[in-house]
Amino acid sequence: MDIAAFFTGLNESHGINLSLFYDAFDRDLFLEGILYTAWLSIASIVGSLLVGALGAYLQYTGGAWAQRLVNGYVHAFRNTPPLVQLYFFYFALGPALSGLLPGMQPVLSNVTWAIISLTLYAGAFNVEIFRAGIEAVPRSTIEAADALGMNERQIFRRIVLPLSVRISLTGLTNNLVNLIKTTTNAFAIAVPEVLYASSQIWSESLNALEMMVVLLVFFMLVIGAFTWLMKILERAIAVPGWGHA
């Protein structure tokens, strides 16, 4: 069966214009958007987990100034909209850095700024999720590690962090799902992710309704698959007595 011919006929006979299935240019544009969305998601997920772990580590082992610094960062990024943060990085901080380094125009690309913004936004929530997980680790477990001669950093790295990750996994899943959906904000600074690509397609093919349906189905499938994988991971590393038998 010729898929392109089928969808061309569907458009001609019923006015259902799914051009990405019969137009090579639209299809390539959408596939490129998927790749950008995947890159934004993977890079910012990894980055936000590292930021969250580092922030929780500083809150646990750092001094008063380190804790104040982490708390200030968390409040700044939790209490402001992610789109405003993205605009700040791209339209304010980006030109400011270009002014300081006039030989480099631009200093960072729009894709890089989007990853930085998304990473710091989700990282702020991950700090609090990890912190809650750390606080849920039984004090007796920490005291037992201390009695074995471990120092504070060793206790955090070998005992507290692994347990807190397991305890926090449900909260992390919810935050990372939100992060994947927030990648569509990159549309605002012309990153050619899947929403931007779709807008280009419907501008040329006049099929906004069809492309919005495709977008909704795309994100439902992506988020569904991601949530399913995280559930498998959660069961695989579950701590007995913490939500699983």
The DSSP string of 67-85 is HHHHHHHHHHHHSS-HHHH
CA distance 183 to 34: 11
Whether the predicted pLDDT of 165 surpasses 80: yes
Domains belonging to the chain, first-starting first, are 35-193 (1.10.3720.10)
Mean pLDDT of 50-56: 93
Angle at the Cα of 142 from the Cα atoms of 232 and 245, rounded to 5 degrees: 30
- Maximum mean pLDDT: which of 7-11, 13-17, 44-48: 44-48
For residue 104, what pLDDT is reported? 62
Between 6 and 1, residue with greater pLDDT: 6
Angle at the Cα of 207 from the Cα atoms of 204 and 211, rounded to 5 degrees: 105
Please state which of the ranges 17-21, 80-84, 124-128, 150-154 shows the lowest mean pLDDT. Answer: 150-154
Non-local (6+) Cβ contacts of 45 within 8 A are: 122, 176, 179, 180
Q: How many Cα atoms occupy the beta-carbon half-sphere of 162 within 13 Å?
A: 10
Between 133 and 216, residue with greater pLDDT: 216
CA distance 225 to 146: 41
CA distance 49 to 130: 9
- Record the tokens describing residue 237, joined without a space: 């590393």
Please state which of the ranges 17-21, 100-104, 134-138, 230-234 shows the lowest mean pLDDT. Answer: 100-104
The reply to whether omega before 162 is within 30° of 0 (cis) is: no
- Over residues 91-130, the pLDDT tens digits come to 999 888 877 776 666 678 999 999 999 999 999 999 999 9
- Over residues 220-236, the pLDDT tens digits come to 999 999 999 999 998 88
Task: Report residue 16: phi and psi, to 5°.
Answer: -95, 105
Q: pTM for the whole thing?
A: 0.90
Q: What's the length of the chain?
A: 245
In one letter, which amino acid is 12? E
Average pLDDT of the chain to the nearest whole number: 90
Cβ atoms within 10 A of the Cβ of 151, count? 11
